[in-house]
Amino acid sequence: MQNDTAVEVRNISKIYSGNVEALREVSLAFPRGKLCTLLGPSGCGKTTLLKIIAGLIPANSGEVWVNGRQVDGPGPERAFVFQDFALLPWATVLRNVAFGLELRGMPPEQRNEIARKHIAEVGLAAFEASYPNQLSGGMRQRVGLARALAVNADIILMDEPFSAIDEQTRRKFQEELLDLLKHHRKTVIFVTHSIEEAAYLSDQITLLSPRPGRVAKTIAPGIDHSRGPDEIRRDKHYLDTVDEIWQMLKQYVD
């Protein structure tokens, strides 16, 4: 495996009980330091593929390679950001962000210090002592992101992280995510069903076809993220990418 590939899946197939074929022979490589999107209509198995990469559900066949090693379970080099945030409702923002480190047995002072740094980074410094139910959806997902950053994994797996968030917050969050990633040089695998989101964020977009999920196409939008977000959204290249994806996906929608 080349050194610039962070994650690679080989011939992954997944059949759920009841003979639902979610994925068939999916092979894909995710380059290091890039943001790669898995895009497709609901039922295309994109979340299933992400959870197989995370080691949260087993594949029926196929291999997952992370940093040149084959894996069959969760590992410290991967951190997951959940669609429904998955925050402990009885724990403060501080404890939630430090939770990954708590599970690793890091002493409280040390883990809280690290957590505070990442809470500040996602702009929640004033809310360390709040409980998740006191926060808006956007703020909760910031907590989820801070928790993933706190364990210092180099691969971040994001499962439709913005789908439960309103459109305005979502755009703001997308910009901040790109900004954060610029500083951290993480590899991100991002699941979404939003074409615009994929085209705006990604270095690489993989379109999956539904039932069973297979790789339909891989696109590299090649959008220059050093420009401002408003400029990007008016850019011809960005609009062409959105249109190209839509032309592909249209056939799966009935």
Partner 1 sequence: MPRPGITSSPLFWQLASFALFFGAWEIAGRWPVSAAFPPFSATLLALLEMIGDGSLGKAYVSTLQPLLIGIAICGVAGIGFGIGMGLSRTVEWFTLPVFIILQAAPMAAIIPLITYLYGIGLTSKVLAVIFLAAPVVVMNSYKGIRNANPSLIQMCRSFQGSRRQEILKIILPHAAALIFTGLRLGLAMGFIGVVIAELLITPTGIGDLITYHSSVADYPQMFAAISSIILIAAVSLHALERVERRLFPAEIRGS
| Residue numbers at the binding site for partner 1 (CB under 8 A) | 51, 54-56, 74-76, 78-80, 82, 84, 86, 88-90, 99-100, 102-104, 131, 133-134, 151
Short-list 154, 157, 155, 177, CA closest to 165: 177
Residue 86 CB, nearest approach to partner 1 (Å): 4
Strand partners, 190: 37, 158
- With respect to partner 1, which residue has the nearer C-beta, 102 or 203? 102
- With respect to partner 1, which residue has the nearer C-beta, 9 or 207? 9
Residue 90 CB, nearest approach to partner 1 (Å): 4
CB 226, CB 238: distance < 8 Å: no
Q: How far apart, in whole angstroms, are the C-alpha atoms of residue 205 and residue 202?
A: 6
- With respect to partner 1, which residue has the nearer C-beta, 146 or 205? 146
Sign of CA dihedral 230, 234, 236, 238: positive
Residue 134 CB, nearest approach to partner 1 (Å): 6
Q: How far apart, in whole angstroms, are the C-alpha atoms of residue 107 and residue 118?
A: 17
Residue 232 CB, nearest approach to partner 1 (Å): 31
- With respect to partner 1, which residue has the nearer C-beta, 45 or 210? 45
Name all contacts of 1-4 with Cβ < 8 Å and 24+ positions apart.
Answer: 1/65, 1/68, 3/32, 3/68, 4/31, 4/32
- With respect to partner 1, which residue has the nearer C-beta, 155 or 245? 155
CB contact burial 110-141 (16+ within 10 A = b; e otherwise): ebbebbbebbebbebeebbebbbeebebbbbb
Residue 206 CB, nearest approach to partner 1 (Å): 22
Residue 78 CB, nearest approach to partner 1 (Å): 8
- With respect to partner 1, which residue has the nearer C-beta, 147 or 214? 147
Residue 215 CB, nearest approach to partner 1 (Å): 24
Quick check: helix, strand or coil at residue 229? Answer: helix
Quick check: helix, strand or coil at residue 185? Answer: coil
Residue 63's contacts (CB-CB under 8 Å, 6 or more residues apart) are 9, 10, 11, 12, 70
- With respect to partner 1, which residue has the nearer C-beta, 64 or 249? 64
